[in-house]
Amino acid sequence: MADVEETREKANELSGLLQCDSYTPENGTAAEKKHILTTWVVSTKRPYIVATTALAEGLEYYYVRLIVNVDEPESLESGRAGRDGLKAYSLVFLATTWKPQGEGEGSLKT
């Protein structure tokens, strides 16, 4: 798993490629973070956001249809998708050099 600094850098790089906002613990004040989330939720041009696990913690936005993890997730953040009871999807991209972590072969910590 990547360390915090590497994760933040990857999130910022990916948001630049996708031309969308990034949400990380270092985004600024609470007001600035709220602005990023409000922009994401109401956007019709870019209804997506790149985020670290900082966004997954405590997120109560019920209309997430797709979670894409780049690298092994620390936990199963895809639980944030489909909270409104409708079908949702989770996709995990792993490096070709990925090796199972945690307890047991191929298991994720939940």
Closest CA to 101 of 14, 5, 2: 2
DSSP-assigned beta bridge partners for residue 90: 67
Look at residue 1 and tell me whether its pLDDT is greater than 50: no
Domain 4-93: state its class: alpha beta
More confident of the two residues 11 and 101? 11
pLDDT digits (tens, 9 = 90+) for 33-77: 888 888 888 888 878 888 887 777 666 777 788 888 777 776 655
Which pairing describes strands 89-93 and 22-23: parallel, antiparallel, or unpaired? unpaired
pLDDT digits (tens, 9 = 90+) for 84-93: 888 888 888 8
